Amino acid sequence: MMERQAPLAIRRHVAFSEAVFEGSKMVESVEAHMAGNSQSVLRTWQEGKIAVVVDPHWEYVRDLKPHVLIDATIAKKNLGTAMTDAPLVIGMGPGFTAGKSAHMVIETNRGHHLGRVITKGTAQANTGIPGTIEGFSKERLVRAPCSGRFDAILDIGSRINCGDIVGFVDKMPVTAQLTGIVRGLIRSGTPVGKGLKIGDIDPRGEVSFCATISEKSRAIAGGVIEAILRVYNGREGGL
């Protein structure tokens, strides 16, 4: 996994990017370790663990020459990924066209086609509307009210009421728009821009959900596995 120097993950309890800060991270019995060079990546693979590197420019792709490259930035646009980056390039969501910018595209929009493997064409356009849980959609999101440094006063898993303060961006309070559980929260001390998503409130009130990946993530991951197995089904080689 190639990450930026300061990952912006919200659901940090289920994000391997936390290895950048902590050195390692376990998510649902799968372990990831921070790697400092290509040799460390190979050793981590041999141990059956995921290697995480700080590499926003994807220099490791040129060095390691992977069989499969997955653009999982979910940036809603292609930031430069090309089909020549690996024998099998998989793009997630809007911004990729199967057969042009990626060999296959995974649908990331909630609904009937979530997780579908697209071999021709593009994924559905970004709606800008978060998924609905217990009747709440945009209210679930916590966004930065201004630019500055975010400092949390609550932790992931905390119970919160509508109107409670989650933290501050500089001295401006960040408040919840509904009652529930803090399912995700950006790391305290992170510089943020105005309007950036920095938290996620789950109205279901189930603390255990904070430590398990969502049904959307699981469906998308299943689509990625299907795409890989269409090409590498117990054999070596490329397309």
Class of CATH domain 138-203:
mainly beta
| Cα-Cα-Cα-Cα dihedral sign, residues 160, 141, 72, 110 | positive
Per-position b or e across 29-57, b if 16+ CB within 10 A of its CB? eeebbbbeeeeebeebeeeebbbbbbbee
pTM equals 0.89
Listed by start position, the domains of the chain span 2-125+217-231, 138-203
pLDDT in tens, the chain (239 residues): 999 998 999 999 999 999 999 999 999 999 999 999 999 999 999 999 999 999 999 999 988 999 999 999 988 888 889 999 999 999 999 999 999 999 999 999 989 999 999 999 999 988 777 778 888 888 999 999 999 999 999 999 999 999 999 999 999 999 999 999 999 999 999 999 999 999 999 999 999 999 999 999 999 999 999 999 999 986 555 44
Of 89, 72, 68, give the one whose Cα is nearest residue 2: 72
